[in-house]
């Protein structure tokens, strides 16, 4: 046993003495024990998920039903309620617009001249498919210069309804009429296209091929452009609104079509003369309202000159003016007959069906025999 003094190393090796508190206090909490959260089994979770899905499915169904009912109410309101025409027929901005546009010749009708159109009780009428304008006359008696030339009976080639928006709201009924003297020229042009070997009529497969070309977006543009450039074809587009509208709305649709056509073919429509003709065309329609059932005629003579006639129900049919540049009338006619998006697909197909009756008979044998 060593009696050497304790060093720091030996002190570290000694066990530490624990200091015990002389008093031991016991603390008891007075809070109640919280209940444990119940655990959901998989079956309960599946039922909750199915209930949640059914809830959102019902919400979707109710929302879709409300949307459809609302759109149906809008359609019924737009097609059933008649809006009375304004008391002032001429627009307040017409004078300013006319002064700023290119000059246009306005030819008032002669007081002694007969009306440009004549529909007698015994004339045959063709149903249009709408109760607002139930029928169109099969024959339209018209003369662009009634003071010097007598009325000529134009034959109905086809008709249809112009609609807008996905609701197919009807705007007007249009019919394409052709002069009987122009029918042989139209026949010859179609026969030369479908049967270049000089046939006087077409057989079944040739007629089907011609019909397909007239309905094709690209080929129809070429065919009708060539036909309308022929200086011997006279035709009329007759328009009768199915609801109250105005000249500006009618004009804007034609202007958009002409502008789109000019942008696609700047080589033909990009000159200054066409821009001036567009100004004259716009000035013709700087007017007021067009009530439901009133007649608007767009005539195209041998030179392609566009004439505009309007029957206001008071003064009879009046000549509003003309545009001599044939590209204006040709562009409007092509908007109904050719391309991918025509103004009335129903009218185009009706015209094509009328044209197909021409090629079933020899040239010159179908004058006055057009049926729709």
* Domain contains 143: yes
> How many domains does the chain divide into?
1
Distance (Å, whole) CA 285 – CA 239: 14
Which residues span the domain enclosing 295? 125-360
* Percent of the chain topping pLDDT 90: 24
Sheet holding 169-178, edge to edge: 139-142, 152-164, 169-178, 235-241, 295-300, 306-311, 317-323
Predicted confidence band of residue 76 (pLDDT cuts 50, 70, 90):
confident
Backbone angles phi, psi at 130, to 5 degrees: -130, 140
* Domain contains 350: yes
Q: Which residue has the higher pLDDT, 199 or 155?
A: 155
Query: Dihedral through CA 146, CA 151, CA 152, CA 153, nearest 10?
Result: 140
* Domain contains 261: yes
* Domain contains 48: no
User: How many degrees, rounded to 5, is the angle at CA 236 between CA 315 and CA 139?
Assistant: 80
Q: What mean pLDDT value characterizes the chain?
A: 77
- Section 221-225 average pLDDT: 89
User: How many degrees, rounded to 5, is the angle at CA 274 between CA 311 and CA 162?
Assistant: 40
- Section 60-66 average pLDDT: 91
Q: Is the pLDDT of residue 105 over 70?
A: no
* Domain contains 352: yes
Other beta carbons within 10 Å of 324: 15
Which 3-state string (H, E, C) describes 247-293? Answer: HHHHHHHHHHHHHHHHHHCHHHHCCHHHHHHHHHHHHHCCCCEECCC
Distance (Å, whole) CA 368 – CA 238: 18
Q: Can you give the pTM of this predicted structure?
A: 0.67
* Percent of the chain topping pLDDT 70: 71
Predicted local confidence at residue 118, as pLDDT: 43
Predicted local confidence at residue 267, as pLDDT: 84
- Residue 212 belongs to domain with CATH number: 3.50.70.10
């Amino acid at each position: 046993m060593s009696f050497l003094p304790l060093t720091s190393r030996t002190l570290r090796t000694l066990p530490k003495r624990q200091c015990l508190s002389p008093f031991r206090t016991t603390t008891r909490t007075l809070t109640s024990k919280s209940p444990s959260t119940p655990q959901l089994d998989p079956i309960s979770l599946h039922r909750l998920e199915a209930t949640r899905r059914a809830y959102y499915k019902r919400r979707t169904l109710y929302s879709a039903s409300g949307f459809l009912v609302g759109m149906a109410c809008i359609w019924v309101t737009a097609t059933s309620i008649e809006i009375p025409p304004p008391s002032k027929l001429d627009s307040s901005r017409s004078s300013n617009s006319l002064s700023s546009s290119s000059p246009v010749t306005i030819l008032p009708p002669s007081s002694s001249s007969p009306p440009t159109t004549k529909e007698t009780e015994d004339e045959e009428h063709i149903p249009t498919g709408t109760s607002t304008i139930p029928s169109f006359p099969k024959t339209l008696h018209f003369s662009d210069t009634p003071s010097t030339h007598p009325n000529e009976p134009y034959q109905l080639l086809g008709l249809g309804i112009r609609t807008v928006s996905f609701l197919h709201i009807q705007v007007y009924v249009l019919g394409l009429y052709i002069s009987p003297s122009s029918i042989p020229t139209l026949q010859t042009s179609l026969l030369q296209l479908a049967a270049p070997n000089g046939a006087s009529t077409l057989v079944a497969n040739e007629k089907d091929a011609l019909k397909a070309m007239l309905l094709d977006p690209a080929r129809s543009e070429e065919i009708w452009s060539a036909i309308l450039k022929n200086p011997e074809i006279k035709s009329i587009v007759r328009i009768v609104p199915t609801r109250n509208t105005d000249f500006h709305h009618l004009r804007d649709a034609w202007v958009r079509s002409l502008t789109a056509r000019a942008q696609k073919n700047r080589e033909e429509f990009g000159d200054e003369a066409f821009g001036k003709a567009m100004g004259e065309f716009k000035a013709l329609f700087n007017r007021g309202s067009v009530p439901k059932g009133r007649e608007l005629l767009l005539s195209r003579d041998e030179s392609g000159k566009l004439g505009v006639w309007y029957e206001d129900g008071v003064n009879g049919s009046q000549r509003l003016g003309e545009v001599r540049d044939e590209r204006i009338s040709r562009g409007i006619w092509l908007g109904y007959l050719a391309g991918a998006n025509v103004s009335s697909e129903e009218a185009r197909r009706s015209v094509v069906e009328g044209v197909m009756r021409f090629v079933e008979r020899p040239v010159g044998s179908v004058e006055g025999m057009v049926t729709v």
